[in-house]
Structure 1
Amino acid sequence: MRRQALLASIALLVLLAGCLGPLQTTSSPAAATDAEGTTLSTTGTGSVDAEADLAVVSVAVVATADSADAARGQVATDVERMRTALREAGVPDDAVTTASFAVFPEYDYTDGERTERGFRAVHAFRIETEPARAGEVVDVAVGNGASEVQGVSFTLTDETRAALRAQAIERAVAAARTDADAMAETVGLSVTGVETMSTAGGFTPVERFDVAESAADGARTSFEPGPVRVSVTVQVTYRAA
């Protein structure tokens, strides 16, 4: 009996040793997988400056009258005169578009009482032209029916903006990669690829309305537009090992 009990104990110990061996070797692959899965997240910004190649002149034709229809009719007459003058100045019809139109009553307020004093009609336009002709367009519009110049902006055409944005993205990605390489080097790693990448940003138009002198005094309107900046920010997550 003692011999049989001793043999059974030895067999049990051998069995337990066989079970414990594999359990002690499974942790190494998990540690290697963690190292291979290291990621670095960086942000890069790139920008490009360029001269504006598009000017947008915002003007409005305004008229007041005793009735809404009379105000509307006066605006329609002045608008036709302005558009004819712009056409004769070489501004194509499709470069002149309506921005807004409204006809509304105006009131006087005396001793807390409201008295209607007529109607105002406003037809606002957006006129696109070359930056060098922005002052001329203002003078033609104001001299032929436009009552208000609501602003002048110097910006970029769609084609130019797309080309500059591509350059800005290239610079932003290069800046992000430079930071990623520096981060990886500090911990003894190297960048091995890109995990994710996204971008945001646009362009900054130059808004100006600083008419030098009144055209009525014999001087021409002139502008001095500054550069337009296209800026892009990219967020990149890199793989490193």
Structure 2
Amino acid sequence: MTRKRLLATLAVVAMLVTAGCAGTIGSSNDASPEGDTSPAASAQQQQQQPAKSVSVSASGEVTADPDRAVLDIGVEASAGDAETVRQRLSENVSEMRAALEEIGITDDQIETSRYIIREDHESRRSEGPTRYIGTHSFQIEINDTDAVGTVIETAVNNGGTNVGQVSFTLSEETRDELREEALSNAMDNARSDAEVLAENADLTITGVTSASTGHVDVRPYYAEAQTAASGDASTSIESGPVSVSAQVQVTYNATDA
């Protein structure tokens, strides 16, 4: 019984040695013997060298004057019952929209952003009669940024009660143009960063392996409506530049310097 176990152990060892020899025979070193300087051997050795690359992330940004403005304007009403609130809201909104139409603001430039009628929280806590408050808010888009003050005055003088944030932004056409510029700047910055990294790693950039971009960000300029001093009833809105930024991820091929 002991003799059979010993023979079995020797057989396993022989199998392991044979397997090890088979793996060595298939290695790339034996296919290219040391000292072989033929062109074929040199090409094979170059192919076997690990590829080198430099990967970077970079951003680019451009700014421009806005060519579109978005206004938040609302109408409020209150009464002792919800139906009266609804009627007053409807009347004031109709008056406001008719006045805006007279100065060239069409229906497709006006969009409802919020509509609510609710019980007044203050009346709940008091012993007086219950009151209801209603709000109908709109977003109004205009392409003439110089007309923002006029639009606000027209709305407030004709049923509008609330003026919220005014955002200066870009039209789709301008946004697309600036997007291309931002991406171009980002690629230039990526190349510069990659060359600095490659130089410090004793490498030379040879080409682009891959390039991708993420979300392009448009940052509007936000302003608040300000009424001028007494004697001048105009509304003053100061606009500012809008920025467009883009990010890219680029991988470059590289070789030893």
| TM bin (shorter chain) | 0.7 to 0.9
Picking from 68, 71, 81, the partner of 1:54 is 68
Equivalent residue number for residue 217 of structure 2? 202
Residue 138 (structure 1) aligned with residue 162 (structure 2): no
1:16-67 per-residue CA deviation (whole Å, 9 max, x = no partner) reads 9xx98x8744588897446451111112211111000001111000000111
SS in 1 for 2:236: coil
Equivalent residue number for residue 190 of structure 2? 176
Q: What is the total number of aligned residue pairs between the two structures?
A: 222
Code of the aligned partner of 2:178: L
- CA shift in 2, pair 1:24/1:31, >3 Å: closer
**Contact 1:56-1:154 within 8 A present in 2 as well:** yes
Give structure 1 stretches of 5+ with no counterpart: 1-15
Equivalent residue number for residue 127 of structure 1? 140
Which whole-Å CA distance do the structure 1 matches of 2:48 and 2:188 have between them?
27
Give structure 2 stretches of 5+ with no counterpart: 1-20, 33-41
Report the Cα offset of residue 116 of structure 1: 5.9
Equivalent residue number for residue 120 of structure 2? 106
Report the Cα offset of residue 86 of structure 1: 0.2
The RMSD of aligned alpha carbons is 2.8
Report the Cα offset of residue 141 of structure 1: 0.5
SS in 2 for 1:117: coil
Which whole-Å CA distance do the structure 1 matches of 2:245 and 2:203 have between them?
31
- CA shift in 2, pair 1:181/1:106, >3 Å: same
1:97-131 per-residue CA deviation (whole Å, 9 max, x = no partner) reads 11111111113368x77876211111100111121
- Normalised by the length of structure 2, the TM-score is 0.77
**Contact 1:193-1:240 within 8 A present in 2 as well:** yes
Residue 37 (structure 1) aligned with residue 48 (structure 2): no
SS in 2 for 1:39: strand
SS in 1 for 2:247: strand
1:6-85 correspondence runs (5 A): 24-26=29-31, 32-33=46-47, 35=49, 37-85=51-99
Equivalent residue number for residue 212 of structure 1? 227
Residue 192 (structure 1) aligned with residue 206 (structure 2): yes
Code of the aligned partner of 1:118: R
- Normalised by the length of structure 1, the TM-score is 0.82
Which whole-Å CA distance do the structure 2 matches of 1:23 and 1:217 have between them?
91
Code of the aligned partner of 2:155: A
- CA shift in 2, pair 1:217/1:34, >3 Å: farther
Residue 117 (structure 1) aligned with residue 146 (structure 2): no
Which whole-Å CA distance do the structure 2 matches of 1:101 and 1:63 have between them?
12
Equivalent residue number for residue 159 of structure 1? 173
Which whole-Å CA distance do the structure 2 matches of 1:150 and 1:217 have between them?
24
Which whole-Å CA distance do the structure 1 matches of 2:129 and 2:122 have between them?
6
1:65-116 per-residue CA deviation (whole Å, 9 max, x = no partner) reads 1111110110000000000000001112211111111111113368x77876
